[in-house]
Amino acid sequence: MSIKGKMYVDDMVYNIRRLDFGFDQKINTNGTASTAPLGGLFNVEVESPKNTHLYAWGASKFDMKYVKLVFSPVTLASKNRTIELYDTLCIAHHDYFHSEGKAPMVSVLRLSPAIIVQDGQTLVEKNWKVSDLSAQNTEPTAVPENPEILECFFEDEQGNAVAKPKKNQTIFLVVNTKEMVGQGIDIDLSDDNIDYEYNGSIVDNDLIQGVNVTADTMKIQLKTIKQRRS
């Protein structure tokens, strides 16, 4: 499954490359928990921005921010996963660069939120929180019409479903979306056996970038070709 992750902070959007978070508990000799859960820290790796937005946050001791992490499937029929972090401190910030390869410079942040909300459900509230979600009239993730890709599948020219495309075919990728008209999406075709042509050009890395969503249901014409070997 191909999934894209975005981190929203203030009015900035960052592409998430890696993420890990979780909790730990101290235990007694009999194996039962002896303390409240510890942790709730988020280690987020993003592509380094050219501005100083993240640097300023990481250098501040008291700057609490609202952070939203959104994970969206690229082509498969699955819903988005949204994690909201309230009263979030950036307690570590490091940049990494390697001269070899094509990987971009990355920034790794360690975030410490006071409140963690996943898909509208509050999971954690720490005693040093500033925000009071109970005082709000709506749930923190009040998005009843959440934009999402509902499903994608292939059809042949006669409208028959194609489970596994073969080379030298003209096929259509049917994309069903919700509340996404006017937005741009990237489509990961992920096939190790064949390559694709889109609008007369070979699709690099099986990834079609910047497709404009013009309707809730779209058909994208493709041509399958023999797999190129590097």
Distance, in Å, from the CA atom of 26 to the CA atom of 36, rounded to the nearest integer, reads 8
What structural domains and CATH numbers belong to the chain? 3-26+35-135 (2.30.110.20), 148-226 (no CATH)
CA distance 25 to 122: 20
Asked whether 71 and 5 are in contact (CB, 8 A), the reply is: yes
99-113 mean pLDDT: 88
Contacts of 5 (CB under 8 A, 6+ apart): 15, 16, 19, 69, 70, 71, 72
Q: How far apart are CA 140 and CA 79, in angstroms?
A: 18
pLDDT band at 228 (very low <50, low <70, confident <90, very high): confident
Closest CA to 156 of 104, 96, 221, 108: 221
184-213 confidence digits (pLDDT tens)? 888 888 788 899 999 888 988 888 888 888
Q: Are 69 and 16 in contact (CB under 8 A)?
A: yes
pLDDT the model gives residue 136: 65
pLDDT score of 143 more than 50: no
Confidence category of residue 182, pLDDT binned at 50, 70, 90: confident
Output the pLDDT for position 74: 65
